[in-house]
Structure 1
Amino acid sequence: MKSFDFMKTVKKFQADEILEYYVYIKIARFVKQKKDREVLHKIASEERKHYEIWKQYTKCDVKPNMFTVYWYVFLARILGYTFIIKKMENSLIEFKSIFGGKIEKELNEKIPDINILLQDEVEHESELIDMIDEEKLKYAGSMVLGLNDALVEFSGSLAGWTFAMQSNRLISLAGLITGIAATLSMASSEYLSVKHEDGKNAMKSSLYTGAAYLVTVVILIMPYLLLPDKDYVTALLIMLAAVILIIAAFNYYIAVARSISFKQKFLEMSFISLSVAAASFLIGLLVKKFLGVDV
C-alpha cells in the first residue's frame, strides 16, 4: 500500500474540488440546453461548498491547475460534457481505492464533516449528473450501430480481400468503393428505421450512424493505402490492431458516460469482430485456392 500523508491528501481533495468548480462553470458557458446549464451551475456550487469545507482544515487556499481546467473543457467540447463530468466524479473513488480503509479511518477521526461531504459527493452530485440530458448520448445507439457494423462487416471484408487479392492497391480500391456505398446504405437505413418508429430526429440519427461508419472505414483502410503494395500481411495486422483499439476507446467512452461495464461490452464486440474477420480471412484463402482466382 502506498504511504498516506493526511494533509497532502486533504489538499488534493481541496484542489480537485476547486478544479472541478472551474470546469463546470466553463462548460456551462457553451451548453445550449437551459436545464443542463442549471444543473452544471448547481454541481459547481456543490464543488465550491466542498472546497470551503476542506479549506477549514488546510487553512489555506489552493489554486487549480488552469491547464487541466482548459484541457477538460476542450475534451468536453469534443467528447461531450457528460463523459468529462462522470470521469472527474470517478476520481475520488479511484483515489480512495489506492489507500483502502486507512484514509477513511483517519479522515473520520480528524474531519467530523467528512461523512456529509462524501455523501454529497456520491449521492447528491450523482443525482444532479443523472439529470443531464446531453444530445450526443441520445444518439449513442446510432453511433454503436454504425461503429459495430463497420467493425464487423468492413474488417471482415478487408480480411477476406487480403489473401484473395494480395495487393494493397486493389484492396484499397475495393475498400473505398464498398466503404462509401455501405456508409450511405447504413445512414439511409437508420433514417428509414427511425422515421418509421417515431419520426423524430431521423436525420440526426442517420448522420451519427453514417459518420461513425465512415470514420471507422477510413481508419481501417489507412494501412492498405499507406503501405507498399505487397505488404498486405502487415496491413492486415495493423488493421486488426486498429479494430481492437477502436473497440476499446469507444467502449471506454460509453462505459464512463453511461456508467456501464466496460469489460463485458469490450470482450463482446472484440469477439464478434475478430471472429468475423477470421472467418472472412479463411473464406478468402479458400476462394483463391479452389476457384483459382489470381488477381
Structure 2
Amino acid sequence: MKERELSASTTRFLMQMQANELTEHLVYAKIANHMKNEHNKAVLLRISEEEMKHAKIWENITGQKAKPKKRKASWLHFLSYILGFTFVLKKMENGEDNASKGYSSLIDQLPEAQKIADDEKRHETELIAMLDEERLQYIGSMVLGLSDALVELSGTLAGLTFALQNTRLIALSGLITGISATLSMASSEYLSAKNSGDKNAAKSSMYTGIAYVFTVAFMVLPYLVFSSYVLALVVMMVTVVIIIMLFTYYTSVAKDLPFGKRFLEMAGISLTVAAISFCIGILVKKFLGIEI
C-alpha cells in the first residue's frame, strides 16, 4: 500500500496505537489460554485476532513496524492470576475507550479509523457481556469482611494503644480479638447465606473470612515491628487508609463503581471509629486508674 503523507504527530500517535494493539493482542491471547469457559475463551481469541488486524492496518499506513510491549503484556497476564481477569480486562477496556476517542479524531484523514473505532466499541460490549468471574460474585462477602475488620479492629487497636501503651500487649490483644472475630464473622456469613438458600454458603463464608484475617494481619503488623506505640498507631492508621484505597480502587474498576465517594465514606467511618475508641481508651485508663 502506498504510504500517505502524515504529520509527525499523527505518525507518532499511530505508532503508539500500533504498539498498543500488538500488546493487547498478546494479553487477550495469554488470558484466553488459561480460560476454562469456552465461550469466554473464544471471544477473547477473536478480539485478540482483531487487535492484530488493527496493528497491521496501521503498519500499512505508517510503513513502519512497531513492537509489542512484552513486559507490560506479561505483567497484565500475571495480574490476571492475582486480581482476576475481570480487573485486567476492565483496565484494558478503559484504555480502549481512550483509543476509540483517538481514532475518532482521525476519521476524516484516515477512513480506516472508523472501522477500528467501531471494533473497539464492540469489544467493550462483548467484554461486559462475557465477564463472569467467581470472585466477583463474592465481592459483597469480601466487602463485609474487610469493612467489619477495618472498623472493628481499628477502633479496638486505637483504644488499646493508649490503654496499654505496650506494643506487644496491644499486638497480642489485637490478634486474639481479630482471630476470634474472623471465626465469628465467617460463621455468621455462612449461617446467613445458608438460611437465605444460597448453595454456595461455604464459599461466601470463606471469602468473608479471608478478607477479614488478611486485614487483621496487616493492621496488627505495625505493633510487632515498632516498639513505639505512638508510631505503631500512626502506621496502623495509614495502613487502614491504604487498604481501603486499594480495595475501593479494585472494586471500582471491576464493578464500574465510583471511586471517590466510596473511598471517602469507608475511610471516614473507620477513622472516626478509631478516634472515638482512642478517646475511650484515654477515659478508661484515667478513671479506672489502671497502670500496666
Question: By how many angstroms is 1:114 displaced?
Answer: 1.7
Quick one: distance in 2 between partners of 1:94 and 1:218? 39
Shift of 1:72: 0.9
Q: Is the 2:20–2:69 contact (alpha carbons within 8 Å) kept by the matching residues of 1? A: no
Asked if 1 retains the 8 angstrom alpha-carbon contact of 2:167 and 2:229, the reply is yes
Amino acid at match of 1:261: P
Amino acid across the alignment from 2:62: T
Q: Is the 8 A contact 2:100 2:117 kept in 1?
A: no
Kindly tell me the number of residue pairs found equivalent between the two proteins.
Answer: 284
* Letter aligned with residue 184 of structure 2: S
User: Which structure 2 residues correspond to residues 19-38 of structure 1 after superposition, within 5 A?
Assistant: 19-38=23-42
Residue 141 in structure 1 maps to residue 145 in structure 2: no
Q: Which residue of 1 aligns with 2:196?
A: 197
Instruction: Please give the alpha-carbon distance, in whole angstroms, between the structure 2 residues aligned to 1:42 and 1:187.
Output: 41
CA contact under 8 A between 1:43 and 1:128: conserved in structure 2? no
1:279 equivalent in alignment to 2:283: no
Aligned amino acid, residue 197 of structure 2: D
TM-score normalised by L of structure 1:
0.91
1:88 to 88, 92, 99: 92
- What CA distance in whole angstroms lies between the structure 2 residues aligned with 1:112 and 1:266? 43
CA separation of 1:223/1:94 partners in 2, compared to 1, >3 Å: closer, same or farther? Answer: farther
1:12 aligns with 2:16: yes
Q: Residue type matched to 2:53 in 1?
A: K
- After the TM superposition, which residues 109-124 of structure 1 pair with which residues of structure 2 at under 5 Å, given as runs? 109-121=108-120, 123-124=121-122
* 1: CA distance, partners of 2:100 / 2:271: 37
Gaps of 5+ in 1: none
Match of 2:242 in 1: 245
Cα 1:187/1:225, change in 2 over 3 Å: same
Give the match for residue 4 of structure 2. Answer: none
TM-score for both structures, normalised by structure 2: 0.92
User: Does structure 2 conserve the Cα–Cα contact (< 8 Å) formed by 1:39 and 1:132?
Assistant: no
User: 2:74 matched to 1:70?
Assistant: yes
Aligned to 2:267: 270
Contact 2:155 2:278 in 1 (8 A): yes
Once the two structures are TM-superposed, the CA of residue 50 in structure 1 deviates from its matched residue by 2.2
Determine the C-alpha separation between the residues in 2 that align with 1:62 and 1:126: 24
Partner of 2:125: 127
Partner of 1:215 in structure 2?
Answer: 214
Aligned-residue identity in percent:
50
Report the counterpart of residue 153 of structure 1 in structure 2: 152
Could you tell me which amino acid in structure 2 is paired with residue 61 of structure 1? K
**Alpha-carbon deviation of 1:86?**
1.1
Q: State the secondary structure of the residue aligned to 1:271.
A: helix
| Deviation >3 Å, runs of 4+ | 92-97
| Distance (Å, rounded) in 1 between the aligned partners of 2:256 and 2:50 | 21
Q: Deviations over 1:176-216 (max 9, x none)?
A: 10111111111111111111112321111111110010000
Task: Specify the SS of the correspondent of 1:200.
Answer: coil
Distance 1:259 1:214, change over 3 A: same
Is 1:43 equivalent to 2:40 in the alignment?
Answer: no
Distance 1:224 1:78 in 2: 28
Structure 1 distance, partners of 2:58, 2:225, is 54
Worse overlay, 42-51 or 17-26? 42-51
Q: Whole-Å Cα distance in 2 between the matches of residues 45 and 85 of structure 1?
A: 16
Q: 1:17-44: CA deviations, max 9, x gaps?
A: 1111111111111122223222222322
Where relative contact order (Cα < 8 A, 6+ residues apart) is larger, the structure is: 1
CA distance in 2, matches of 1:198, 1:41: 37
SS at match of 1:136: helix
CA deviation after TM superposition for structure 1 residue 93, in Å: 4.2
Superposed CA RMSD: 1.8
What 5-or-longer segments of structure 2 have no aligned partner? Answer: 1-7
